[in-house]
Chains A and B, each alone.
Chain A
């Protein structure tokens, strides 16, 4: 499985955009990039995923570089409730178990 590298922690001011980077330089052509977050010790919550095109939903935007070796999760207007650990994951293909392999994530602190 492709590994990911994320900064261990980041701060963001409330109301500003939070840009969370992720490197996945060994990603294969058919592997998707997923983002999850975990608030306190709750179960991880799905945010967004993509293959090579940029994606947007009601929670966030995902920007994937053209070479697919890195991506950025953007929370457009961060709130205090967005304080969480954010995990960037390269998902195994269906024929390899389809699992999510979690790294250490980025602890995002949104401050008033």
Chain B
């Protein structure tokens, strides 16, 4: 049971480039989330999904897109990367009932 897996772990992007951060969970969870964490700050919600085919914006969605075509995968797309998107990105998932959310180990992204 791998839990929540994020790839890549590290990435350096140039301004204007695009990339997709991958997130996969093997727990058959309906709810999945993307957060970003800037240095010394708490996590901020970017996008979330309550099930396959359903996504919604969180607190800081600008500059990002998501899709949820399967229960297992919830990729986060960055278009036209900007230095302000330099951050650590965490993916999380949780089941239907009020149970703990599991987090991935994060993707550290630097935009230069």
Contact = CB atoms under 8 A, between A and B. Distances in A.
A49 interface: yes
B104 A43 contact: yes
B44 A102 contact: yes
A97 B101 CA distance: 13
Interface residues of A, number: 21
B48 A99 contact: yes
Contacts of A42: 105-106
A99 B96 CA distance: 12
Contacts of A103: 42
A98 B42 contact: no
Nearest to B40: A104
Secondary structure at the B interface, as helix, strand, loop or mixed, is strand
Secondary structure at the A interface, as helix, strand, loop or mixed, is loop
B90 interface: yes
Interface string A10-51: 000000000000000000000010100000011111100100
Given A91-B98, A97-B48, A97-B50, A105 B42 contact: yes
Contacts of B101: 46, 100
Interface of A: 32, 34, 41-46, 49, 87, 91, 94, 97-105
Given A41-B88, A46-B101, A105-B42, 16 more contacts: A41-B106, A42-B105, A42-B106, A43-B104, A45-B103, A46-B100, A87-B42, A94-B96, A97-B50, A98-B31, A98-B50, A98-B98, A100-B92, A101-B59, A102-B43, A104-B41
